[in-house]
Structure 1
């Protein structure tokens, strides 16, 4: 078997895997990428090696994450197209400043920046106030936000609706893992599923119909929070594309007042992992 044939087989298998995961046919993929079904079939079977541009077009047509697009290019024998910059790199200076402004604007509401494995990149002072009292070992870098929330030595004992809200977190992680498979996420899911209570058989009375609120005991009273996720939609850097801003917003005025009392002054955000994503 020649090197070119081996590369074609590896690329074809990877493309077929992504197409299956995205649940689209060869014909639909061909239409999206501006080619023919026959060409897609030949690429997937290893009978044809596409050019660099075609690899990128196929990946874009399936919304493959940038990191995996680089892997597809390598499998085809080409150099990666998307840069992966450490979060502390000067090239991301403008991005860091923008994120700092967003995090500061959220105060006194907790907000964090996480990577694709839910590891903490940085957090605002309100989040640090929220997790005050969590066991120190859970706050050693790399800090995993999902683990801090659901671990019995983390925030879990303080969550009034843990049985329902925990599965909201687990299911969101599972959906992300299905869209963008990742070894760390798979391991994290296995760990968390062993920590959380059994899945409730029916929706609880606190379900809002559109979201599951977090009901959290704190030293200033119960907090009722909604979480939101935001990401960069036009990123062409791997690190930036994988960042997520998760913000916890008050569901009522009482919670808004209690958050102000819990974190009266913003503390500087911190990055326990300043050099970029943790290794797989």
Structure 2
């Protein structure tokens, strides 16, 4: 079902204050934003201070130039007194059947290599059969829906004991999450970041890590049945989403970083992968 949600706190802060906050977060001056959005600096200043009311089109245009996520653009519209324009659909919605089928084809086509679909807060939406190899030994409590991929990866009862380069991989994931917190201002992501930072790690390294000579990717080195497997990953998103749900989905696909890992994965047979 497609819905247009109304966050309970959306009307508590004026739109000008929210726009100024996003502009400060993006480190864009009033002059640069006014030029990009084709409005006068004076009018933008009046909007931010509450002396002028922006039109719906102006709110949408400013949100686009500030790269505000679609969910938060709806909040800007609500704060300005307008209805949201970006729907939030369920993946089970019939209108998204083509998208759902395409995602499942991508996941199946990537087998036997692992691939997962996650939402904005890193909750597992769907995964292919190859993911079962990575989840071997994970406490079942961590896999209860909605299973959080970052929590499953870094929790001491999750994948962490089998990650050979836990400190390096942890720094990589925390760095990604930190950037997402900055980009979205999502308090739930910020709380998740604080939680993950508190997990034990004997070989912790700084979240901003300087690459060494010859480094070009951060690998996931994973211990499985006495062998060390090595992966690198790619992340895909929808290029032109106009729906909140689609805008917040990403597909992370893992590839073998060496021939030995590829051979193990091709020989690995899982009865079923984690499903939504």
Normalising by structure 1, we get a TM-score of 0.89
Q: Where in structure 2 are the equivalents of 1:1-280 lying within 5 Å?
A: 10-197=14-201, 199-200=204-205, 209-219=215-225, 221-262=227-268, 264=269, 267=272, 270-271=275-276
Q: CA–CA distance in 2 between the matches of 1:125 and 1:28?
A: 48
Q: CA–CA distance in 2 between the matches of 1:253 and 1:230?
A: 24
For residue 130 of structure 1, report the CA deviation from its aligned partner.
1.9
For residue 249 of structure 1, report the CA deviation from its aligned partner.
1.0
For residue 8 of structure 1, report the CA deviation from its aligned partner.
11
Q: CA–CA distance in 2 between the matches of 1:52 and 1:215?
A: 49
Distance 1:123 1:36, change over 3 A: same
- Judge conservation of contact 2:126–2:274 (CA < 8 Å) in 1: yes
Q: CA–CA distance in 1 between the matches of 2:29 and 2:240?
A: 26
Distance 1:194 1:8, change over 3 A: closer
Q: CA–CA distance in 1 between the matches of 2:63 and 2:70?
A: 9
Report the number of matched residues. Answer: 264
Q: Secondary structure at the match of 2:14?
A: helix
For residue 188 of structure 1, report the CA deviation from its aligned partner.
0.8
Query: What residue in structure 2 maps to residue 277 of structure 1?
Result: none
For residue 183 of structure 1, report the CA deviation from its aligned partner.
1.7
Distance 1:64 1:241, change over 3 A: same
Distance 1:251 1:207, change over 3 A: farther
Q: CA–CA distance in 1 between the matches of 2:38 and 2:58?
A: 9
Distance 1:65 1:203, change over 3 A: closer
For residue 209 of structure 1, report the CA deviation from its aligned partner.
2.1
Distance 1:90 1:179, change over 3 A: same
Q: CA–CA distance in 1 between the matches of 2:267 and 2:128?
A: 15
Q: CA–CA distance in 1 between the matches of 2:209 and 2:14?
A: 45
- Judge conservation of contact 2:132–2:273 (CA < 8 Å) in 1: no
For residue 233 of structure 1, report the CA deviation from its aligned partner.
1.8
Q: CA–CA distance in 1 between the matches of 2:56 and 2:94?
A: 29
For residue 219 of structure 1, report the CA deviation from its aligned partner.
2.0
Q: Secondary structure at the match of 1:125?
A: coil
For residue 88 of structure 1, report the CA deviation from its aligned partner.
1.3
Distance 1:220 1:86, change over 3 A: farther
For residue 199 of structure 1, report the CA deviation from its aligned partner.
3.4
- Judge conservation of contact 2:132–2:270 (CA < 8 Å) in 1: no
Deviations 1:31-74 (CA, angstroms, capped at 9, x unpaired): 11111111110000000001100100000111110000000000
In angstroms, what is the RMSD of aligned CA positions? 2.1
Deviations 1:207-241 (CA, angstroms, capped at 9, x unpaired): 85222101100126211011221111200000000
- Judge conservation of contact 1:215–1:223 (CA < 8 Å) in 2: yes
Q: Give unmatched runs, 5+ long, in structure 1.
A: 1-6, 272-280
Distance 1:9 1:146, change over 3 A: closer
Q: Give unmatched runs, 5+ long, in structure 2.
A: 1-10
